[in-house]
Structures are given as structure tokens and as C-alpha cells.
Structure 1
């Protein structure tokens, strides 16, 4: 909005002293109502995903900016606000680092998720604040290195605004959810965010190297593995984002070249990065391990729980392809009618799985049970199961004789 109000705040300070932290906790205990919470990390700069700043705002208490590395244990704060409703924007992004310091909500109101369920065109915090509150919220520090100390005053003002506007935003969104009859939908989605378990670590995380599929499954692939492991160990030790030491493209270039000597590795122009030469012995040792190992990685095969990409279904499972296309088209109509993004109406992977391997008897009840087993929420099942069942049946039917079909 061109006439959006600009929201200004006084200068902020970070609470890094334990005594000051306990004073702030006492003041937050005197506040009332929901608690706005946000966290800032240093993604892209640090190896860890820990919080380097935690912001808390509560009506009747004020705004507090906490320094997690300095404070360490947040149990006193958890005991004061743990039972309150926490208001976060994109809660799933912040909950892991909050839980790492002992902060874990019982209930949340996720303003980003609420905006999605309402069908708002843009769901970033700045966009939603401007849309509903008429306030322009600058977001120029969202990708900053929050491990920086001391934190610049402009960063602290930005961080404080992220929580000070959340409660008013929550109230505006709650009104819209009620007007659209989506209160129960939102409540189920918010509960799912809190209950969602973290994914277990990958068994072979090195396989996520960008460009690794261009390598043959031989010692070149072994070199990529050893180089990734060497980089990961150094990044963890220094608490630096791995890509800032040596980028993926450099590791892949070295693995593809498989140099025969330390000198050849040093001469490889494509092997770049700030630690590519200062840690040359480390990288050469990784190459040597790859050359000597008997543990040669095989080409990764799809696990038994992995579906083929839908683009290949027409050849591999034509009936599943017909079911998926028919159901997706039908659900798109519901999503448009309800002003809910298709991916929020039903997790795309859930639809793919029931399309690939549907129940023996295709009925709304059996489809609903299959979706529930995958983790779909009750509201999603209510809105989609019958439509999916009908689409599966109709999409599988052969056209009547003499009826023209689309090519």
C-alpha cells in the first residue's frame, strides 16, 4: 500500500546478563494474553542453526531481546510463558532453535499459515503487515549474520518490530478466519505445527551435494563423499556454513578431476573457496582416502518408500497417472472455491501416494482412512476424501465407444 504508515521504534538493547534476564522474565509474567515470539539465526554464515537472538513481546510487559548464547538456559522464561498462546510467523522455521534452548509452546497461532489459509496473495511478514495493518515493515536485515556482536541498532529495531506487530496482526487474522469459517481449520493446522516431529538426519547427507548426479558411481563418487565429510568436519569445528569454506561446485570439480597429486589439486582452477588452499592438506587427504578405499558408493537406488516422479507415471503406472491427474484437477476446483492454496488443502505427497496405491475398494471412507494414516488433518479429509474417491473412479473409467477424447 502506497499510503502505508511507517512504524518507528526507540533504540533497543540486547539482554545478555543473567540477572537482567530474570528481571525480564518477572516483567513478562505480569503481562497478559498471547506472547509474540521470534528468533534470528545466522543461516548461510554459521554451521549451526541455533538462535542468536530471541525476541519476546507481551501486552502489559513490553518487548525483550534476548542473547541466547550468553543466557544459555531459558527454563525460567518457559515456566512463565509456556502455557500461553505463542504467536509466530512461519513457526516451523523457529521452533527447532527455540526448543534447543528449552522454549516449547503448547499452542501457537502461526500468522504466515493463517495468511495462507485465508488465500492472501503474499504471506511474508512484511507483506501481511502492510496488507492488514497498513504499516510498512522494512525487511532488509532478514538475511543478516545475527551472530554478529555487537548487533547494530538498526538490526535491533528490525528485530523488535517483528514481534511488536505480531499480536495486532494475529487479531486481524483471527477476525478474517472467523468471517471465512476457517477457525477450526486454522486450529487443526496450528496444532499440527506444534506436534510435528523433526525429520531424522539423513543416512548419507553427502549425497545432497549439488551436482553429484553428474559423477559416476566409482571412485569419483567416493571422492565427493570424502571431500564432503572433510568439509563438514571443518565447518562444524569452526561453526561456519560449509559453503563459505568451499562451495559444492568446487568439491564436485575436484571429485570429477580426481587429481593424482597434491600439486594437481592446488592447480585445479575450479577448486576455489576461502579454505580451498589454506586447508589443502585436508582436501588432499580426502582424495587419498577415496583413492585407497574399498568402500565404493553405489548409485543410490530409490528407497521402498520413494515414489517415482509424476512425470514418469504415464509410462510406469498409467492407471495411477489417470487417477492423479483427475484428482488434482478436482481438488484445484475446491482450492479455488475455498480460497485455500492447493498444497494446504492437501499435502501433495499424500495425494500422490493414494493415487499410486489406492485402497482395494475406492470409497470416501477408505480414501479418508488412507489419508488419515498418512497424516492428513480431519478438515482436509472432510473436504477432499469424497472428491478424490469420485475422481479416482471417474478418471479410471474407459470413455464410451464413439466418444472423442483429448489427445
Structure 2
């Protein structure tokens, strides 16, 4: 099972801002995006050749609207992704491509575990790269009014890839959201961060492990990955920790957290800015997150995905299974939507009424918990919902 299509990759370098109108007639949209391509230096004949056979794909929109897997708790989500087979395959691939991963770490500063985690979760080490026509997927999402500012630059980048002989609008396939290859990169990122790792003169993310891994490393470096620094550690917490200090918006150094009673399950706390992460509240698993953890949100904006990928990298490095604790039950979908509506009414930006406990919703929950005298751990409960 693959999850790359759910990635919302940041740091896009588009040659122009969104211009073609979303919604309305798809034919009119294609005509408008062709004009925009011509304004970027593509000839009228080339634009016509590229866009001639592109069609809307209703399956893409269905996939875009059905992202319920991110409603899983961190414990459930991580257990569904981190199987013994994935652990074994990750270790086998680390050994098989040891020289390649050493090169990625030396040249880009990204350690093997992180690259293996994304390679595993995105495509099961290249086995499932997606079978959606990429040009149709990008055009469908560019025409849709939910996120045209993300996808229209990607569609234009695909035209540039095609001009370079690196993309075929008729045959190139990948994830429903337009990502391509073993580590699932969008066209603009392939243009800007693609690496010819095997030296054959082409960047082939679908067929070349070297190209895929080094391109992924280059992208993470460009997104802010800090060499030779940790990303996530499991910790144990004192019962009297001020819960309002937890969460990604509060940072103290490792020694400062240690002085408050925070203890790593393995190793020592780094003397770096760090946040205490409670994916399921103060009764559940606990981690300390360093700057590199936040960098991973530029690859994928899902809290449970990023945390699971960071944790899986630790498991590949020999970390034990995390302690799940006894967290309060997760709110139902409808209760979470009701919660978001109540928070939005109170002026919070929760990022939409979607029933997904994202970063904005969590921080709004924390503020209301603090106001109401509850443990401010950003994990919503029925008690909180009732008080609101």
C-alpha cells in the first residue's frame, strides 16, 4: 500500500504564479494553461502537442477527497505502516545500497534511516509507484479549485520536463497527486533537485535507485535538513510537567527539558532547540522533536505520517518499539468536526472542518484546554468537547 499521493510537498519553484482560472469548463482551462505555458517560453505547437490528449480523471478527485487514513491515531497509523517485513526490507536495502546511502549522507547530510523511511512509505521500496496518468492527474488538480496554486506550477513544470525528454504526457504514471518515482517527487522538485546518481546522463526516479535516493537527499537538504543532528527521540515525562509547554510551538534545549525531568529512553538529550511531542496526549507516547523533525513537514504535511516516518527511521537504527501508554480514546469523525466548528467559531484557524486532527486544530485545542484548566496536551477529549 502506498501513501505518496497524500504528500503535499513544499518549496515549489514555479516559473510563474497561478494564472489559469480554476473550475468551469475543463476545455477552457486547458486553453488558458496552454497560453500560460507559451508565456513561459513554450511554443504554441509544443503546447498543443503536450496538452492535446489530456483529460480530467474523476478518480483523482475521489482520491483527493478521501484521505481518511490520516484520521488514525499515531499508534494505529504507525502500526499499520511499520511491519516486520518493512523493517527487514529496510535493513536489507540499507546493506545492499550501503555505498549509495554513505554518499547521500556525505554529500547532502541526510542519514540512511530517513531516506529509507520515505522510500518504504512512499512506494514500498519502489514496488508500488502508482498507476495514475501524471499529466491527467496534475491537470485535474490544477483545474480543481481546492489547491490550484499548488498544482498549476507543477503542470507547467511537467511541460518543461517533457521538453527535456524526461516526461511523456501519454505514458508517465505515478501517484494520484502527480508525484513520480520511488520517493515520489513532483515535477518542479525533479527539475530543481533531481540528481543523476548513476551517471547515465538522465534523472530516472522510477527505475534508478541511485537517482531516487540522491534526489530525495538533495530535496531534504534544500528543505532545511541539518547535517549530523537528530530528529526524534522517545522520552519519559514527569507527571508534573507543565503540559502547556508541550507542542511544536514551544522550544527549549535538551538540557532545559532534562532539568524539568524529561528523560530519553535511549541515549542523551541533544543540546538543541527541541519540543515535546504528545501525539495522543499526556497519557500516550511521548517524544522530543528537534529541528530536523519539523523539516520533514516540507515533504509531507500530515502530522501522523511525519511522526511515523521519523520514528521508523529510529527503528531502523535499532530503537525499541515505543511505549503506547493509555491515552484517552480518539474522538469520532463527527465529534472531531463538531470540535473544529466550535473552535472556528471562537476565531481559531483549524485548517478546515475535515475531522482530521492536524497541527492547527491541535494548537487550538491546547489553547482552549489551558483556558478551561484542563491538561493542555492538544489531545481533544469528550470532556473538552462538552465544556466547549
Which TM-score band (shorter chain)?
under 0.3
**Of the two, which has the highest radius of gyration?**
1
Flag the structure with more relative contact order, 1 or 2, with Cα contacts below 8 A and sequence separation at least 6. 2
TM-score (norm 1): 0.25
Between Structure 1 and Structure 2, the one with more helix by share is 1
